[in-house]
Structure 1
Amino acid sequence: MSQYGKWFDFCRDSGSAQSTIPVCNLFNESPSRGGSGYDGGCDLTGISLSGDRHLANLGSILLCGIAIAASAYLIWRSERKKAAVGRREIQIFLAAYIIIEICEIFTVGHFPLDGDVRRGFSAVHIATVVATCWILMLNAIIGFQLLDDGTPLSIGLVLLSAAMLFIGTGYIALDTTFSWTGYWDDTLDAPNQAYALYTLYQLVPIVFLFVFYVLEAYLVLRILGEKKPMIYLTGAALLFIIAQIFQYVISVHICNGTDGAINGGLFETLFTLLAVVMVWIFWSSITEDDWPMPVASGGAYA
């Protein structure tokens, strides 16, 4: 039987009672499952609170706060680069990442929330991840100056297209977990084979990120004729890959080794933050004044 679209094993290994993969919260907290968790996985408990409640992944929560502050700082730094290509667009990317981190506080780092609230945050988290990766890919396209950057048209196209992806993905996630139409109800029980969510959350962002990397590599190597920025770009890619390895491969081993205190979600948050910072450093490095980029109408690298 095909494994495509199946979430059960991922969810079981990322925290039996409270998964740190947001998609899993849609199944685990669904009415048909009653929030019962995934048998055979490591039970992420974290810090015990009163009333048999737990605060899980406190480290992730703190890192999310740091990520929000760091992103706000980078938005401010971007504002000072008045002549930089894609300044507004990279700020939109950072703002979208802030929304992801706000959601992660309640999905990767678990507050003792009502199930409906957690499912709502999880749906927003999933939708924002897809939209943010799309925005990042558009930043690479904007770097070629096919369209004047920073104009109402450019910003409008970025925001409108991202909003369409956000709404579409968010609706599927919400309809899956709240069973508004009942169309996705067969995904709520093991093996949680949700083709749409698997494609949107697992595969689509990878495609967007791959296209971003290829386009930026072409821009740097063939158009700018430089190699140093590739260190930052490749560093960002490697940091992101490490984050995913911690989330999907190492997480269960960390959880077992710490008796449920933490899992890979903590390190996924950390390395994703480092990847985002490296993306900004890469963008900043190719918008310096000394690159041999010809002046284009409406915006330029020089």
Structure 2
Amino acid sequence: MSVDTGFKFGSFNYFCNQIALSMCPLVGPETGVEPSCYSRNIEIAGTLIFEPATLVIHLIALVMTCIMIYHIKSKFTAVGRKEIVMFFYMYLITVVLEFFVISGIIPTAWPGFKYFVAAHVSMSITTLWCLLLNGFVGFQWAEDGTPLSLWSIRLSSLVIFGISYFINIMTYLEKAGFSKLNPTALWIMYFIFGAAFILIYVVLQIVLVVNTLDDRWPLGDILFGFTFFIVGQIFSYVLSTKICEMAKHYIDGMFFGTMCSLLAVMMVYKYWDSITKEDLEFSVGGKSNVWEIKDPLLSDDGLAAIGNEGPYEQRRF
């Protein structure tokens, strides 16, 4: 049975023909849609590992994300510290889930595979939703770090995850009126909503920098991040087959797409770091008069006078 791999609204056939998205074995025809060209598999301990080069980028992404989380948590007085770190935690979970579902470690034939894929796709959407909400933190709609700010992100993210997971799993199981032959709702959630979350976040940050900051350099960080994201989509969905054929199946577009996604996330961190103030703990050493003595009793002359009075002499104030 031939599969129409042309672009069609609501169909994953075109995208799955380019790269091996995690949901590709579960949507479309009974056996899913395979890429026309994909990177070589390797065998480790009797297990076939798919996309080995991309998995290396995932491992690098895990390390880099942990480093970024560490630096964010070390900036104790930074605005939006607790809010932005939630985005990086979600990205970390997304990378871990993607590592397992695209590598073949969790086999596609296993009945539980669809539940992991639903979790991965839902976590991807939820991560972008969390990024969008972080875009409002700088406008101080609620004081950052307060329960209102934190729990609004947590609870709304939980709702988005639940809705996305329901759409995913019902599509794969073909229940509640959803169909994997026509996964329009899942397609809209994955592509339209995801792109909208990113675009709105970028626009919000441009408005924030232009209207509230004197420094325009953070615009470069956010625009670089957005450029990396766009380039990653081009590598994944436009150039993947050509890259795969030119590289003789050693790598494909997913390798460069994942790399660009990591760079985009790193630019989000760089942008946030550039618009937040330095911590007092780490700026003390750079200021010569931070500990300037204002009380005359604690000056050199005052201390000398106190020493001459004797330790037990009564003082009048």
Smaller-chain TM-score range? 0.7 to 0.9
What residue in structure 1 maps to residue 36 of structure 2? 41
Paired letter, 2:105: F
Q: Where do 1:11-30 residues align within 5 Å?
A: 11-14=16-19, 19=20, 21-27=21-27
Q: Bigger CA drift: 220-229 or 272-281?
A: 220-229
What residue in structure 1 maps to residue 235 of structure 2? 246
Aligned in 2, Cα 1:198/1:174: closer, same or farther, shift over 3 Å?
same
1:264 aligns with 2:253: yes
Aligned in 2, Cα 1:194/1:268: closer, same or farther, shift over 3 Å?
same
What residue in structure 2 maps to residue 221 of structure 1? 210
Structure 1 position 48, deviation (Å): 4.5
TM-superposition CA deviations, 1:173-208 (whole Å, max 9, x none)? 1111133x26223x33xxxx3211111000101111
Aligned in 2, Cα 1:120/1:262: closer, same or farther, shift over 3 Å?
farther
Structure 1 position 261, deviation (Å): 3.3
Structure 1 position 227, deviation (Å): 0.9
Q: Where do 1:1-302 residues align within 5 Å?
A: 3-14=8-19, 19=20, 21-27=21-27, 33-34=30-31, 37-38=33-34, 41-48=36-43, 54-111=48-105, 113-115=107-109, 116-179=111-174, 181=175, 183-185=177-179, 187-188=180-181, 193-289=182-278
Q: Give the distance between the partners of 1:109 and 1:246, measured in 2 at CA.
A: 19
Q: Give the aligned CA root-mean-square deviation in angstroms.
A: 2.3
What residue in structure 2 maps to residue 293 of structure 1? none
Number of positions where the alignment pairs a residue of Structure 1 with one of Structure 2: 273
Structure 1 position 288, deviation (Å): 2.1
- The share of aligned pairs that are identical, in percent, is 30
Paired letter, 2:214: G
**1:23 touches 1:197 (CA, 8 Å); kept in 2?**
no
Q: Give the distance between the partners of 2:27 and 2:40, measured in 1 at CA.
A: 19
Paired letter, 1:42: C
**Which has the larger Rg?**
2
Please list every run of 5 or more consecutive structure 1 residues that lacks an aligned counterpart in the other structure. Answer: 291-302
TM-superposition CA deviations, 1:107-165 (whole Å, max 9, x none)? 34443624334322221121111111111111110111110111122111101101111
Please list every run of 5 or more consecutive structure 2 residues that lacks an aligned counterpart in the other structure. Answer: 1-5, 280-317
